[in-house]
Structure 1
């Protein structure tokens, strides 16, 4: 069981990483054509609006969907679970359509709330682009339910391909239209990619014999109960979006391109962390839900602890390495065409602030998903509320002192405090959690990463004669991995052996 899960995890991680790289290629091309400017600020805000609406109208329900799907399947079989899924899709579609229509009529008000300090030209452009991207809300809802059904049935190929499928149209468009600086066309093509992403899920759904049907009848107590239980989550997510809006609001008052720098640095951070997060949510949330449903608390807690350790093995050394080489990474990725060195410095400042949170996101997100798998929605909601309040207060204070770095630093500090609070709460609720083992292994991984970081820093300063950022990154990465691996072996971080063995077995098979 554990071995098969690890193999699935490696596959999903690889596919997600590939999709993130393709997404970065898209962003690199957009940066090359438009730079970090008012145009890209408008584009990024327009893409943010439907995501905020999705988090408010559908995301809360999707968090509780998987545990309830399993329960219905046990009670009524596969057909009953599919009927339950169709009921949820029907409700969410109606809600999202209502949100879409209201948002289309009030696009100007939405932009005023999120970024009121834009110039007149940028403000009008943002409204225009937002009206194009709002349709993403409806298709994101469909894709979310479809992907959750596939997760419950251990089908991951389509889910892994979704981001790739979504980004390919915009990449092709940008490469075939090098002469075009029409951001409206770029936004339309981006939206088409988002609309099409759920299509890649249909073949696997057909293989499960799932058919989507609008269902207005038979809304039992379970469906009603779900919507009652998601109210705390809905409140928490709505509050978290306020934090995002505050960041954009303050960012819009700084120099042109600040919002773009926040988006770009966040996307680079998501490559470091989002790859593993997507894997955990995709693979392990159904596993944890089943374990809790079977009342196997020891195994459930052991799974939570092991996931955090395995994510630390990757995220802590990558975070330290990315901190040392942050400008080289950003320059290599974006600095070409209309994207200048000044833009690189702005993105770098934001990126360094975001990096601090990466390892702590592991604790926050995994424990949050664990509570959701146990149908405990109150604790994550309270945690999220505390995090958002801290983030907003710190953003207002630190942005005045440090500018764009202050905005991202505030986010990282709030995430660090949130993760510590989450871990303490989990231990209180489930005293049998072996937190001592988690702390010891985390310290070993951190020490190995610091030793690696010192080695990379010394090596980096000796490579001043090399002008190519790519060569510098390749050399430092290779030596860094070697130092980290050997140090983990010396400190007896046994989990590193499992990762190495799995990679070795896959290479030998090929």
Structure 2
């Protein structure tokens, strides 16, 4: 599992770097403007309309596929997969037609601060991006299928062709002064991902067939399992909706600034958290189905510790270097000093929630593996309520930064709730080991952050921004892991021991 996680992290870093260039390109040509705001809302609408369903289906798919495969064999599970895809395609066709008809009303709900040309552009772009929902059906389910087959590389490298297609569309759009090309580029990128997944799924014995049986009992069971996840995901999207609606009212470019900050946070989340949970989920699902609870608890503990070991120092680094990071990555072209200030402020306050967000994902996956989708759903509802209340309290006082801080507080609070609740389902987790690891990680991160701040501010001030940041980050990483080794952090020592044994063999 550790070997797969490390490989997946390396692949994800490569994919995320290319994906990050997509946002850098958008920032360069359009900055934090009305056009970029309209484009980002057009990308958000399909995610909210169908992404919540896709999240629930893809999460419930792996445990359901595993059970069907044990009962009916691989061919029976593949027939179920085809039926699931085709039923969802019918549902999405109705959804897309409705979205096209009511596009303006939907955009107004998503960004109440839009008016005039910005509103018109957002409506036009949304009517194009809605067609991407059809491709998203395949992308979500076939990615889960390949992950179950332990072909992790393909789903995690799909972002590369997508990002390259979008980058080309942004450059072409700016050159021709035709913002509508942004939406066509996004939809074309999804279509390319669809083609790639169909090809690689065929190597794993999946071929798309016209199977359709809406009365299938496994399909009904799947929907029952996915229902709470869909509700929980809906809650998350409502959070995002409130964030972006308030951001559109706070300032022109507010939606874009919040998105750029969220992109940076998602880089850490995607590389560290998603890499761990992608490998963890199929494993713990099989452990739960076999009743191997000792293995389940151990794997869950290691996953949580691994997430903390990587997200805590990342958050500490952002707290002391958020402004120079944003300035280095985005501060060029149309991305002016005001955009840097708004984005770095949001990025700073998002850092407080990095750990909470990561632990919530790990613990939620643990509940899903146990086929308990209700607890994470309730947790998501609590998170939404807290986040919305904090949004309306903090946005008038802190602007965009207040929205980021609200998200961070709710993520930390709800991660603590899940941590307490998981015990009733799995039995006692190794809490003492967990707290000991957390203490070591926080101590090492605090020392690292202080050293990084002094190194960047006083020692490297004469160097270029890029050189100073690279040296600071590199030195900070070496210092952090050296301290953990001195403190004899268990998970890190086990990983090094396994690496040494692998080298000897």
Tell whether the 8 Å contact from 1:460 to 1:472 is kept in structure 2 after alignment. yes
Note if 1:103 corresponds to 2:99: yes
Note if 1:171 corresponds to 2:184: no
Query: Counterpart of 2:125?
Result: 129
The verdict on how the C-alpha distance between 1:333 and 1:160 changes in structure 2, with shifts beyond 3 A counting, is: same
When structure 1 is superposed on structure 2, of 32-41 and 276-285 the one drifting more is 276-285
| CA–CA distance in structure 2, aligned partners of residues 177 and 216 of structure 1 | 40
Query: In the alignment, which of 48, 62, 69 is matched to residue 66 of structure 1?
Result: 62
Please state how far the C-alpha of 1:282 moved relative to its aligned partner: 2.3
Tell whether the 8 Å contact from 1:298 to 1:432 is kept in structure 2 after alignment. no
Note if 1:352 corresponds to 2:363: no
Q: Which residues of 2 match residues 287-436 of structure 1 at below 5 A?
A: 287-436=283-432
Note if 1:211 corresponds to 2:207: yes
| CA–CA distance in structure 2, aligned partners of residues 218 and 316 of structure 1 | 46
Query: Counterpart of 2:233?
Result: 237
Query: In the alignment, which of 24, 41, 46 is matched to residue 45 of structure 1?
Result: 41
**Partner SS state of residue 347, structure 2:** helix
**Partner SS state of residue 459, structure 2:** coil
| CA–CA distance in structure 2, aligned partners of residues 234 and 178 of structure 1 | 37
Query: Counterpart of 2:491?
Result: 495
Where does structure 2 lack aligned partners over 5 or more consecutive residues?
A: none
Query: Counterpart of 2:193?
Result: 197
Please state how far the C-alpha of 1:500 moved relative to its aligned partner: 4.7
Tell whether the 8 Å contact from 1:87 to 1:216 is kept in structure 2 after alignment. yes
| CA–CA distance in structure 2, aligned partners of residues 50 and 145 of structure 1 | 17
Tell whether the 8 Å contact from 1:316 to 1:449 is kept in structure 2 after alignment. yes
Q: Which residues of 2 match residues 134-283 of structure 1 at below 5 A?
A: 134-174=130-170, 179-217=175-213, 219-283=215-279
| CA–CA distance in structure 2, aligned partners of residues 107 and 507 of structure 1 | 57
Deviation string, structure 1 residues 225-255 (Cα, Å, up to 9, x no partner):
2223333222222232221111111111111
Tell whether the 8 Å contact from 1:165 to 1:200 is kept in structure 2 after alignment. no
Tell whether the 8 Å contact from 1:58 to 1:92 is kept in structure 2 after alignment. no
When structure 1 is superposed on structure 2, of 416-425 and 146-155 the one drifting more is 146-155
When structure 1 is superposed on structure 2, of 239-248 and 107-116 the one drifting more is 239-248
Where does structure 1 lack aligned partners over 5 or more consecutive residues?
A: none
Please state how far the C-alpha of 1:467 moved relative to its aligned partner: 4.7
Please state how far the C-alpha of 1:54 moved relative to its aligned partner: 2.0
Tell whether the 8 Å contact from 2:111 to 2:244 is kept in structure 1 after alignment. yes
The verdict on how the C-alpha distance between 1:485 and 1:238 changes in structure 2, with shifts beyond 3 A counting, is: closer
**Partner SS state of residue 220, structure 2:** helix
| CA–CA distance in structure 1, aligned partners of residues 337 and 164 of structure 2 | 28
The verdict on how the C-alpha distance between 1:179 and 1:448 changes in structure 2, with shifts beyond 3 A counting, is: same
Query: Counterpart of 1:437?
Result: 433
Note if 1:92 corresponds to 2:83: no
Deviation string, structure 1 residues 236-291 (Cα, Å, up to 9, x no partner):
22232221111111111111110000110000001111222321342111111001
| CA–CA distance in structure 2, aligned partners of residues 242 and 175 of structure 1 | 32
Tell whether the 8 Å contact from 2:87 to 2:214 is kept in structure 1 after alignment. no
Please state how far the C-alpha of 1:61 moved relative to its aligned partner: 2.0
| CA–CA distance in structure 2, aligned partners of residues 505 and 331 of structure 1 | 43
Give the count of matched residue pairs: 505
Deviation string, structure 1 residues 123-150 (Cα, Å, up to 9, x no partner):
1110011111111111111111111111
Tell whether the 8 Å contact from 1:155 to 1:204 is kept in structure 2 after alignment. no
Query: Counterpart of 2:28?
Result: 32
**Partner SS state of residue 177, structure 2:** coil
Please state how far the C-alpha of 1:418 moved relative to its aligned partner: 0.4
**Partner SS state of residue 356, structure 1:** helix
Tell whether the 8 Å contact from 1:161 to 1:200 is kept in structure 2 after alignment. no
When structure 1 is superposed on structure 2, of 170-179 and 111-120 the one drifting more is 170-179
Please state how far the C-alpha of 1:177 moved relative to its aligned partner: 7.0
The verdict on how the C-alpha distance between 1:505 and 1:295 changes in structure 2, with shifts beyond 3 A counting, is: closer
Tell whether the 8 Å contact from 2:83 to 2:212 is kept in structure 1 after alignment. yes
Query: In the alignment, which of 49, 71, 75 is matched to residue 75 of structure 1?
Result: 71
Tell whether the 8 Å contact from 1:162 to 1:198 is kept in structure 2 after alignment. no
When the two chains are superposed, the root-mean-square deviation of aligned CA atoms in Å is 1.9
| CA–CA distance in structure 1, aligned partners of residues 193 and 501 of structure 2 | 33
Please state how far the C-alpha of 1:56 moved relative to its aligned partner: 3.1
Tell whether the 8 Å contact from 1:308 to 1:363 is kept in structure 2 after alignment. yes
